[in-house]
Amino acid sequence: MKIGFVGLGIMGKPMVKNLLKAGHEVLAYDIVKENVDDVVKAGAKGTGSSKAVAEGCKFIITMLPNGPEVKEVVLGPGGVLEGASKGTVVVDMSSIAPEVAQDICKACAAKGVKMLDAPVSGGEPKAIDGTLSIMVGGEKAVFDEVYDIMMAMGASCVLCGDIGAGNTTKLANQVIVALNIAAVSEAFMLSTKAGVDPVKVFEAIRGGLAGSTVMNAKVPMITEGNINPGFKIDLHIKDLNNALDTGHSVGAPLPLTAAVMEIMQNLRHEGYGQNDHSAIARYYEKLTGTEIRT
């Protein structure tokens, strides 16, 4: 199947490569030429604009940093809608505000273009492995039409509701991940300050009720002092901003999310914005003058 793909960043590039491995033909575009060159070497075909991608494909995936970028790529000059035909399907796999996804969908529908919002969870490692969790909002008939395409990049793909539901689900995911990392950092600082080896604590509790995928992924990074980005603090700040804005609009209190947001904002100020969100532990290390290390 021929698939268009716009947005070849830390997530988009491995996602394209998994589509190629599944036997799909991919027409790709990104504003950074080196990113296009990378996927072309893997077998994709490059093009010069989002409009050109849409002119050449019925199915188009976008994977971009935030809502403004998705609006620009889909609705802006030289964008997807300028090249799309009636019946084109846009699958936005970016993590954006639900309201923005709904606005873009309305603009697409006016031209006869169908849309799903389908953000993902799992970060770069699962994008590389093709085991992302995909959360989808939109019409079931459209979901069924592109399900096999999405499963070439993911281990699970769940229709969560109407358009915007995918991103609402992703915001819930990001709240849980952020709070989990903060809780892990706080707890392992407690053990470290009390003189108990954090690795031994991890081994003892990982199989119990406190265990989680987040703990399994992030505690080894924290204890090794590894803050190389799998998912950057700057991107998590973006997601928590969208969560807080959405919470305000629907009347959902998010006091713990707001507290972790302040931790992340401090870390950004300290120069950790491009580092992994496991650097939340650095906030606690700064407060105590103690490192959580093996």
Instruction: Choose, from 126, 170, 218, 232, the residue flagged as catalytic.
Output: 170
Does 114 qualify as catalytic in the annotation? no
Radius of gyration of the CA atoms of the chain, in A = 20
How far apart are the C-alpha atoms of 150 and 198, rounded to whole Å? 38
Query: How is residue 42 written in tokens?
Result: 């893997």
Distances (CA, A) of 69 to 95, 101, 106, 211: 11, 12, 17, 36
Round to whole Å and give the CA distance between 167 and 137: 7
In the chain, where does DSSP find H-type helix? 12-21, 33-41, 50-56, 67-75, 80-83, 98-109, 123-129, 140-151, 165-193, 198-205, 213-224, 233-250, 255-269, 280-288
Distance CA 269, CA 225 (A): 19
Q: Which positions are annotated as active-site residues?
A: 170
